[in-house]
Amino acid sequence: MLRRAAGADAGAVADVWLRSFSAALPTVVRPRSDDEVRAYFRDVVVPERETWLAEADGRVVGVMVLNGQLLSQLYLDPGWRGRGLGDRFVALAKERSPQGLTLWTFQVNKPAHRFYERNGFVAVERTDGSGNEEREPDVRYVWRP
């Protein structure tokens, strides 16, 4: 089930992000500690962004964050990858932003590239990473209806 996240969900949402990031991006250095990530989700992401979560069996297994036309976060619990949940999140994002979406993903995250391209996104820019906190080369993707 997909639903909007509330304040009480911030910890569980951050924990999904932490597990997913560690599993999907083991070579990317995180600039924030686990506690800082949890505080960021609690104080900024959940209250100030359009944050959606996926629940299964009473626990949070996925998170998607929209900030206008920016799909700023889409992370799934590692055990939930490949089950169609990401596709459901992207369909929701397209519904919420029918005029188009943009997102960034790291160049090392080849599974994410395949996922977004399969969902109609096109790579339009590559950077050396100097503009992100991780200092990791990234790719900007765009989806237009």
Q: State the Cα–Cα distance between residues 46 and 72, nearest whole angstrom.
A: 12
Structural domain containing residue 79: 2-143
CATH number of the domain within which 59 lies? 3.40.630.30
pLDDT in tens, 27-73: 999 999 999 999 999 999 999 999 999 999 899 999 999 999 999 99
| CA dist 7 → 4, 16, 113, 134 (Å) | 10, 15, 31, 27
pLDDT band at 22 (very low <50, low <70, confident <90, very high): very high
Mean pLDDT value of segment 86-103 = 97
pLDDT in tens, 30-42: 999 999 999 999 9
Q: How many domains, the chain?
A: 1
Q: State the Cα–Cα distance between residues 107 and 105, nearest whole angstrom.
A: 6
